[in-house]
Amino acid sequence: MKKIVLKHIQKEIPSLNALEKPKDISFGHYASPVAFSLAKNYKKSPIIIADELCEKFKQSNIFDNVESLKGYINFKLSSTFLNSLSNEALNDEENFAKDNKNKKILLEYVSANPTGPLHIGHARGAVFGDTLYRVAKHLGYDIQSEYYVNDAGNQIRLLGISLYLGASEVLGKDVEYPEEYYRGDYIIDLAKKAIAEFGEDYFKDESVIEELSTWAKDKMLILIKDNLKSAGIEFDSFASEKELFKLWDETLKKLQRDSDATYTKDGKLWLNSSKFGDEKDRVIVREDGRPTYLAGDIIYHNQKFKRGYDEYINIWGADHHGYISRVKAAIKFLGYDESKLEVILSQMVSLLKGGKPYKMSKRAGNFILMSDIIQEIGSDALRFVFLTKKSDTHLEFDIDDLKKQDSSNPIYYINYAHARINQLVQKSKKSLGNIKQTKLENLEDDEKNLLFNALLLNEVLNDAYESRQLQKISEYLKNLASLLHQFYNKNQIVGSEKENIYLKILLVVALSIRTGLKLMGIEAKYKM
């Protein structure tokens, strides 16, 4: 909507390139301070310039009124214009609030080690990433989602050792666990499956650990995919660290084309990452010739950039903050534009139940499982609460609050608005076709303002995506639901003289709520 309005205004005021929304909508739907920027050139008061510019819009059918106020120009949209946007939305719901952006993006998120089920911290990044992906798709970006599987290195061998020891314990053998190993009932459950598949004799000695590690990793990856699917999250592609390491030699050669990229010291190969903002240089090859964890990231990002996307987005846990500068340094040394990589950090989550810390899962060992929370409150509530704050800020919530069936629970409140509209349409004797054909004319301010807010979704989505502040979508939906409930309490809908007008406005509100929730991975409820 804003783009259409701005384009119309620019026919008369070419220098006007942005519109604001006044805090008080009674002043107008949009406003501009352009007169202040023109005052110096025209050597006139901004108030005089604003008055003169307002005269240019007297015959416009987009605006009911354009007036100046202390140098600002306030634009009030017309019922005719809002009606045309409503018709467009209701007659093509599939394309409501969509755009056609021209940018190719590779989005990598979750990428949790395949050594156990996903915990609640993983879930936050997963929900944020999936929603960012959905919104980008809706806005027309050519975006691909990818999961980087850390299936090489010590953590996978440690998984195999933990599973071997767990199976030995199940078989009644005396087991001495090392200081570091994966624990929890999920390891015992996996051990029982391994015994059933391979037989008891398979576990007679430790020679099976490497094979067992690969088997366990594959099982854990299936479990992780199931965890994600339960929250409506699926990936376009998976990248294997183990497979990528086959490209290490050629990647290292490419890296070392820049003579400043690496140097040898104390028998180790170092990345000169401090040259590009890292606090110190990093080892990429150990004394024994084994590449480090960072080497895997270097190979992976080289492969990413070879694929030729316009932009690369990584969503990492907040504990990976220090990795950003070293990875960007490697990208720079590899000959790519490191500014094309954006890293979004996801902070951890604190869970309460009845005001007290949520208990850790015995199945997981020492953390709260994503699957346990979904089972308790459902995927919709989980997704919604993770999208109520910026991803890089700490989040604490009480799961009991998300079970409440009243207005204190925001997801209930929003869904109730959608269900209420559906109920009103059902009560009405008017057909949907008849309602949609109604011409919206001479709307009162409260009618016009509700409709205006319902048509703002595209602007909200663009703002939320570009700022990476997806909580703006949930805030918008809560506000729209509140306006709907206020409107309902103030006006008799069914049976009134304006029944068709009211219902058409409400259909647009419902479409906006339904679309916004869908992009958050939530299906709107029609009955409550």
Residue 214 is assigned to a structural domain of this protein: yes
Whether residues 457 and 474 share a domain: the answer is yes
Residue 362 has pLDDT above 70, yes or no: no
In the structure encoding, which two tokens stand for residue 331, read together? 């990208």
Residue in this structure with the two tokens 């304006």, named with its chain if needed: 498
Residue 293 is assigned to a structural domain of this protein: no
Residue 256 is assigned to a structural domain of this protein: no
In the structure encoding, which two tokens stand for residue 1, read together? 């909507």
Per the DSSP assignment, residues forming a β-bridge with 342 are: 313
Provide the domain count of the chain.
3
Q: How far is CA 54 from CA 1, 21, 40, 445, 475, in A?
A: 20, 17, 19, 21, 33
CATH number of the domain that residue 55 is part of: 3.30.1360.70
Q: Mean of the pLDDT values across residues 411-421?
A: 97
Q: Which of 197, 229, 261 is the last residue of a domain?
A: 229
Whether residues 14 and 96 share a domain: the answer is no
Residue 263 is assigned to a structural domain of this protein: no
Residue 523 has pLDDT above 70, yes or no: yes
Whether residues 514 and 411 share a domain: the answer is yes
CATH number of the domain that residue 92 is part of: 1.10.730.10
Nearest in space to 407 (alpha carbons), one of 481, 355, 512, 354 = 481
Cβ-based burial of 484 (10 A; exposed 0-12, middle 13-18, buried ≥19): buried
Residue 42: which pLDDT band, with cuts at 50, 70 and 90? confident
Residue 487 has pLDDT above 70, yes or no: yes
Whether residues 59 and 91 share a domain: the answer is no
- What whole-number distance in Å separates Cα of residue 401 and Cα of residue 380? 14
Q: Mean of the pLDDT values across residues 100-118?
A: 95
Whether residues 71 and 87 share a domain: the answer is no
Whether residues 411 and 446 share a domain: the answer is yes
> DSSP secondary-structure letter at 391?
T
Residue 457 is assigned to a structural domain of this protein: yes
Whether residues 459 and 475 share a domain: the answer is yes
First to last CA, the chain: 32
Who contacts 345 (Cβ-Cβ below 8 Å, separation ≥6)?
315, 316, 317, 318, 320, 321, 391, 392
Nearest in space to 273 (alpha carbons), one of 254, 258, 253 = 258
Q: Lowest-pLDDT range, 69-73, 89-93, 166-170, 507-511? A: 69-73
Q: How far is CA 180 from CA 171, 183, 384, 467, in A?
A: 21, 9, 36, 41
Q: Which of 177, 211, 229 is the last residue of a domain?
A: 229
Q: Mean of the pLDDT values across residues 72-94?
A: 95
Whether residues 70 and 53 share a domain: the answer is yes
Residue 446 is assigned to a structural domain of this protein: yes
State pTM to two decimals: 0.94
Residue 162 and residue 254 in contact, taking contact as beta carbons nearer than 8 Å: no
Task: Give per-residue pLDDT as tens, 421-439.
Answer: 999 999 998 999 999 999 9
Whether residues 54 and 92 share a domain: the answer is no
Nearest in space to 453 (alpha carbons), one of 498, 474, 483 = 483
Task: Give per-residue pLDDT as tens, 120-169.
Answer: 999 999 999 999 999 999 999 999 999 999 999 899 999 999 999 999 99
Whether residues 63 and 87 share a domain: the answer is no
- What whole-number distance in Å separates Cα of residue 370 and Cα of residue 367? 10
Q: Lowest-pLDDT range, 30-39, 77-86, 188-197, 486-495? A: 30-39
Q: Which of 200, 229, 258 is the last residue of a domain?
A: 229
State the residue range of the domain holding 185: 154-229
Residue 365 has pLDDT above 80, yes or no: no
Whether residues 451 and 485 share a domain: the answer is yes
Residue 376 is assigned to a structural domain of this protein: no
Whether residues 502 and 456 share a domain: the answer is yes
Residue 15 has pLDDT above 90, yes or no: no
Please, which contacts does 92-99 make with residues 24 or more away whose CB atoms are closer than 8 Å?
93/511, 93/515, 96/457, 96/511, 96/512, 96/515, 97/138, 97/457, 97/458, 97/461, 97/512, 97/515, 98/138, 98/139, 98/140, 98/458, 99/138, 99/139, 99/140, 99/458, 99/462
Residue 106 is assigned to a structural domain of this protein: no
Task: Give per-residue pLDDT as tens, 224-255.
Answer: 999 999 999 999 999 999 999 999 999 999 99
